[in-house]
Homo-oligomer: A and B are copies of this chain.
Amino acid sequence: MAGTKKVAVIGFGNIGSGVVELLYQKGVAGLELARVVDIDLKKKRAVDLPASYLTTDWRQVVNDPEIDIVVELIGGIEPARSILLAAMQNGKDVVTANKRLLAQAGHRVFQLASTLNRRVGFRASFVGCHSLIHEFRQAGTAAKKFRRIYAVLNGTSNYILSTMTREAKGFEEALREAQAKGYAEADPSDDIDGIDTANKIRILLGLISNSYQAVAPFPVEGIRAITLQDIQYATELGYAVKLVGVIEPEEGVFNVAVHPSLVPQVSLLGSLQGAYNGIELEDEYGIVSGLVAPGAGTYPTADAVIKDLLDIAEGRALPMPGSAQELTLGSTEAVERRYYLRFSVVDQAGVLARITDIFWKYHISLAAVIQKEAVSREFVPLVMTTHLAKEGNLQAAIEKVDKLDVVKAKTKIIRILKADT
């Protein structure tokens, strides 16, 4: 331990105020708050800080040889990226909560860190998953192998899906409720379209593979198209609907996707309530473990920043991708899954036979069928779950089914994930 480390915090919003409160008001041994940067110095904050600490000029801080560690909490790509790169070039370690930056420009950040032997703390970009990052920390010495990771990583989506399930509300109504309560932003697209989950999955993939190479796009589907009807059918079948990020290594490639999924109601992921995050990991021996934690919030995020700062101050290694190895994604068509399918068919004899006939040709077999008595004569929901089938076959079969004259709307497809905890 080389004495007290001087810390500059760039970005004095909610998280920044939380970090300043812990560093300056509460005090953390080994860490000293030196400067705080924000473009708006007049705004009233939750924490009192003498004006002498404050500046609007991040360059001044990043060039200050007194500063040991720079904490970036402004979000977005620029100037956040320039701040991190310049700070490292000036010999400082950095800590960031910026998952969008790491997902999009992580290769630049980690490559520079690797070249200059600097440390990048990013627990706070991934609050719900501290412990998992710890588990992968040993990856440098003994690469942790695993069969699959299923992760619910977006609190907003989970809050909306939980509300729809518990209160029998439609998607739009649940979204408005989430916005009213501050769980969803005015523009909720990042959260409900799966982008935030995909960003976290990219960061996780970097950690797992120990590679900072950018990854090709992978399939990302959000929750806008999930209806109350789907949730009610899922409940009847014993499942909960969750937005899940999936990473499955397979013979040198990674199958990666983000999509709404049916998971057993009574399971770690199925029982996740409100804004919690959850991860389930199956290792190479088939041993499953999981963890649950709040996915966001001022205190958990500020706490994650402090933990990174302490690791740096006390000379502990931080988990970060350290190689330039290429990452190859697997072909989506070859992935085998079970499926929930909701058809919109006319209520007439022979419909089921025509669908199962197509399925038979594509080697798809049924696990369950729910057809209720029709309320109207022209539009009946017909719900099926399949046994394991190849995604390519399933998509081809549904394309055929959707062209049948008895099918009146696009068939809804939701993947069913097994869950062991």
Contact = CB atoms under 8 A, between A and B. Distances in A.
Given A289-B293, A291-B292, A421 B130 contact: no
A289 B287 contact: no
Q: Give the number of copies in the complex.
A: 2
A268 interface: yes
Contacts of A268: 268, 271, 292
Q: Specify which of A265, A272, A291 lies most central, judged by the most chain B CB atoms within 10 Å of its CB.
A: A291
A297 B288 CA distance: 12
A299 B276 contact: no
A297 B290 contact: no
A267 interface: yes
A291 B310 CA distance: 23
Range for the number of chain A residues in contact with chain B: 35 or more
A13 interface: no
A294 B299 contact: no
Given A138-B310, A142-B29, A287-B297, A292 B421 contact: yes
A314 interface: yes
A266 interface: yes
A14 interface: no
A11 to B, nearest CB: 21
A205 B131 CA distance: 20
A289 B285 contact: no
A56 B79 CA distance: 66
Interface of A: 28-30, 130-132, 134-135, 138, 141-142, 265-268, 270-273, 276, 285, 287-294, 297, 299-300, 306-307, 310, 314, 420-421
Closest 6 CB pairs of A and B: A131-B131, A289-B293, A291-B291, A290-B292, A271-B271, A292-B421
Given A138-B307, A289-B291, 16 more contacts: A28-B142, A29-B142, A131-B131, A131-B289, A142-B310, A265-B266, A266-B271, A268-B268, A271-B421, A276-B421, A285-B299, A287-B293, A287-B300, A288-B294, A289-B293, A289-B294
